[in-house]
Structure 1
Amino acid sequence: MTSAAAVIGSTGLVGHHVLDTLLSIEACESVYTISRRAPKTGPSAKLNATVEADTTKWASQLTAISPIPKTVYSALGTTRLQAGGIQNQWKIDHDLNVELAKAAHAAGTQTFVFVSSAGTRGLMSNMAPYSKMKIGVEDTIKSLNFKQAIILRPGFLIGEREVAHTGGSLVASLFRGVKTYLGQGAQDKFAQEGQVVARAAVRAAALAAEGNAPSKYWVIEQNDIVKLGRDEWKA
């Protein structure tokens, strides 16, 4: 684990848990966030939170952090409904993530961790706008040639959100029902708790810092997210 990290998307379901996890780990000495509203977490001397409503300033604010965090996590994303249309969603899910990845690389960040989505490279993915957004970000991160890039592709995300997704609670209830009647393994094939995904992201970055990542561009699918973030997780 590096001594400093930055989290983008720290008010979202996964990003919130990434932030809380990093703040709880002794080896992480400081955590920086950039977000449109203050992250909801307990007080911590480690936390350096920047609240900025204008997302066009985020890249420059990221590069202004000194010294630049060696690890940057992006769990940044929105929905078409929240953004007010697919074009506005593209500006956040694709354009802003791409801009931040480029800024982090230019500033000297060694490890970039991006929370993508399962099915991104599926058979019909090139026809789905949401998948195209994720593909574009993944491809950009790969092309930037970070010392270490980590891509997580979770399934449906389960957990409490600051801003509820339309139909999200119903789907989450469905997957919890799957767990109740068919077992944890059945749920794991389609959905993961936000905290599990976050812990997998932090654990993967720690393994990379130790030189134990399996590849320079490490893609972590659902089975390995569960393995890293729950089955093998040690607080």
Structure 2
Amino acid sequence: MSSAAVIGSTGLVGSNILSTLLATGAYKPAHTITRRAPKAASPSLNAVVDTDTSKWAAALAALAPLPSTVFSALGTTRAAAGGLANQWKIDHDLNVELAKAAKEAGVKTFVFISSAGTRGFASSYVPYSKMKNGVEDAVKDLGFDHAIIVKPGVILGERETSRPAEGIAQTLVRGLGRLSQGVHDAVGQDAEVIARAAIRAAQLADEGKAPSKFWVIEAGEIVRLGRTEWPAKPAAEGATTDATQ
């Protein structure tokens, strides 16, 4: 069985990726590299904790067994990072550095959790979009066997640290859901569904069933892969899933 690594596993989507991997036993072991220990616990979890993010690329390359797939849900906000320059170092520079390290180490599949709407004419000039687009382009250009970009809309779920603007957006999306599930799904997706879509896409790539070497997954496919077609599987023996849902 192949192993996987999750970067950003203490965030909303990343914690759901990790807990789903542990619950399903889709990859063993599941590695993480974080600044603080993830909440999830399992015999199948290999958690590397290092507050110095400059060491993460080397730590990723040194993981044993080497993961066949790396999931990156790494990201922060301008406020949490202490300014745009610091946010860029994490959202863009660190993600690109990790992707390069993964490629050089021999990782086959790289899955990046990006964001919807970053390629529009106006939005592409926004710093947040430039960060996401820069990582997407780097992952594509590195030449992985499979590069998968997941682009959710509003991410629905409870974060450990609230984001006021996102909270307002979540309220609006949930309101739309009362009128139309289709509209709801097009605008926002649950973090658990996004996580499942990322995992299922990686599995399909492993099985040679990905539609292309560079696969961009947006709202409709997120819902299809992560909810409609998600296979029900029993939890892996000994795994617990106390990461944020």
- Structure 2 length-normalised TM: 0.92
Superposed CA deviations along residues 1-25 of structure 1, whole A, max 9, x for unmatched, are: x520000000011000000111012
Distance of 2:202 and 2:173 partners within structure 1: 28
**1:140 aligned residue:** 138
**What are the within-5 Å matches in structure 2 for residues 98-109 of structure 1?**
98-109=96-107
One-letter identity of the residue aligned with 2:154: F
The ranges of structure 1 where at least 4 consecutive aligned residues each deviate by more than 6 angstroms after the TM superposition are none
Residue 63 (structure 2) aligns with: 65
1:194 counterpart residue number: 191
1:134-213 mapped onto 2 (5 Å cutoff)? 134-180=132-178, 182-213=179-210
Pairing 1:84-95 to 2, within 5 Å after superposition? 84-95=82-93
For 1:12 and 1:136, the matched residues in 2 are separated by: 21
Aligned residue number for residue 45 of structure 2: 47
Hey, what's the Cα distance between the residues in 2 that align with 1:231 and 1:27? 18
* Residue in 2 that maps onto 1:224: 221
Where 2:144 maps in the other structure, the secondary structure is coil
Aligned with 1:24: secondary structure?
Answer: helix
The code of the aligned residue for 2:12 comes to L
**What is the match of residue 24 of structure 1?**
23
Gaps of 5+ in 1: none
Indicate yes or no: 2:227 matched with 1:233.
no
Identify the residue that residue 121 of structure 1 maps to in structure 2. Answer: 119
Q: Is 1:3 aligned to residue 2 of structure 2? A: yes
Change (3 A) 1:173 1:48: same
Q: Say whether the 8 Å CA contact 1:179–1:187 is kept in structure 2.
A: yes
Query: Identical aligned pairs, as a percentage?
Result: 60
Matched-pair contact (CA < 8 Å) for 2:13–2:192: yes
Q: Secondary structure at the match of 1:162?
A: coil
SS of the equivalent of 1:226 reads helix
- Where 1:178 maps in the other structure, the secondary structure is helix
SS in 2 for 1:189: helix
Q: Is the 8 A contact 1:11 1:162 kept in 2?
A: no
Instruction: Give unpaired runs (5+ residues) of structure 2.
Output: 233-245
Residues in 1 aligned to 2:124 and 2:112: alpha-carbon distance in whole angstroms: 20
Letter of the structure 2 residue corresponding to residue 222 of structure 1: A
Q: What is the CA deviation profile of residues 50-103 of structure 1, one whole-angstrom value per residue up to 9, with x for unaligned ones?
A: 111111111011011122100000000001111111111100000000000000
Q: How many residues align?
A: 232
- 1:126 Cα deviation (Å)? 3.0
Q: Distance in 2 between matches of 1:207 and 1:195?
A: 18
Partner Cα distance (1:172, 1:159) in 2: 8
